Amino acid sequence: MPALAPTIVFADAHLVVCDKPAGLRSIPAGGEGRKDCLAARIRAIHADALIVHRLDTATSGLVLFARGAEMLRRMNRGFRQRVVGKQYVAVVHGHVAEDAGEIDLPLCAEPGRNPCQMVDFTHGLPALTRYRVLERSGEGEAALTRLALKPVTGRTHQLRVHLMSIGHPIIGDPLYAPADSPARHGRMHLHAAQIAFIHPHRRVAVSFASAVPF
């Protein structure tokens, strides 16, 4: 089934902010029939749009595009300097005990399991996630926690692996949750809900939000 169409939340001469549906790749993948992606769909509307950051295929939410190479350079610098703020919402298995906290675990690729990542204190790159409990529900095997997540770093699969590593994988995650979780929950419950930054041309603070679809 084709992925739903992305929604353009904001566009001006310098930037495009869009809302990616779950199931749509951020960029094309290799192989026949795997070229459809968010970047191609946005470029069909704004030919100069260049993707600044990506979301996993199973993740929905806000993605930022720069219009032209100079805007891309400026926004990439903002990400490197960690002045772009992103917040996600996730629903995870189990009841997270602390109301708020940090997960500080280094990550690297898991050998032989591309694209999976793992915690590795010898070879991993620093990765830091902050979380806050929004709601706890259910009991026993049906226990769930809704979390607000702030990734301080931006490693591949960071939120997914960090949450799995503390015993609370995201429900519906096809790589890191229990094998029956995707069938039980339909989609991975991870959504990029907010993004905030200094507009690279207007030099004013801007922020955008997307309603959580689960």
Q: What's the pLDDT tens digit per position in 61-75?
A: 999 999 999 999 999
Q: What is the value of pTM for the model shown?
A: 0.94
> Distance between CA atoms of 96 and 149, rounded to whole angstroms?
13
* Annotation marks residue 56 as catalytic: yes
Q: For residue 177, what are the CA distances in angstroms to 52, 57, 136, 173, 208?
A: 28, 16, 18, 5, 29
CA nearest 197: which of 65, 22, 95, 2?
65
Give the pLDDT of residue 31: 67
> For strand 205-209 and strand 85-93, is the pairing parallel, antiparallel, or unpaired?
unpaired
Could you tell me what percent of the chain has a pLDDT over 70? 97
How far does CA 157 lie from the centroid of its chain?
A: 8
Q: For residue 175, what are the CA distances in angstroms to 57, 65, 102, 160, 206?
A: 12, 27, 22, 9, 34
Give the pLDDT of residue 199: 93
Same fold, 7-84+195-209 and 87-190: yes
> Distance between CA atoms of 46 and 43, rounded to whole angstroms?
5
CATH of 87-190, one of 3.40.50.2000, 3.40.50.300, 2.70.98.30, 3.30.2350.10: 3.30.2350.10
Tens-place pLDDT, residues 30-70: 766 678 999 999 999 999 999 999 999 999 999 999 999 99
Residue boundaries of the structural domains of the chain? 7-84+195-209, 87-190
Give the pLDDT of residue 1: 44
Q: Which residues contact 176 (CB under 8 A, 6 or more apart)?
A: 116, 157, 160, 161, 163, 164, 169, 170
Can the peptide bond before residue 115 be classed as cis, meaning omega within 30 degrees of 0?
yes
Q: Per the residue annotation, which of 12, 56, 104, 180 is the catalytic one?
A: 56
> Distance between CA atoms of 200 and 135, rounded to whole angstroms?
36
Give the pLDDT of residue 18: 97
Q: Give pLDDT < 50 ranges for the chain.
A: 1
Q: For 7-84+195-209, CATH number?
A: 3.30.2350.10
